[in-house]
Structure 1
């Protein structure tokens, strides 16, 4: 079973490249079980979206409340 440290590393890598099938499956399984990593992934996705947007803050939708 994947631990949170490994899941965080894979989530970061996933932002830059496609993961291998086994890594993608293991990460998906871990996020189904781990609420903390699920929330971290939402926050990471939000930050990436915010950094790619122009400075108009009205266009950025925050992640849903936890």
Structure 2
């Protein structure tokens, strides 16, 4: 196992962090909005599927039950 002294480790970390391309405020805002929109659409989709399945089961159970 290789050992690295703390000073060298910090220098390596700073070097790697400087390579990171951070998103702009606009990019963060747009991706956040997209997550909320897609979450809402997914919730509506699954609510509709749930309603359709419930309606189908109620129909089958009242017809044959």
Please indicate the TM-score interval, normalised by the length of the shorter structure.
0.3 to 0.5
Q: TM-score by structure 1 length? A: 0.33
Give the helix-richer structure, 1 or 2.
Answer: 2
Q: TM-score by structure 2 length? A: 0.33
Q: With a CA cutoff of 8 Å and minimum separation of 6, indicate the structure with the bigger relative contact order.
A: 1
Look at both structures and tell me which one has the larger radius of gyration over its CA atoms. Answer: 2
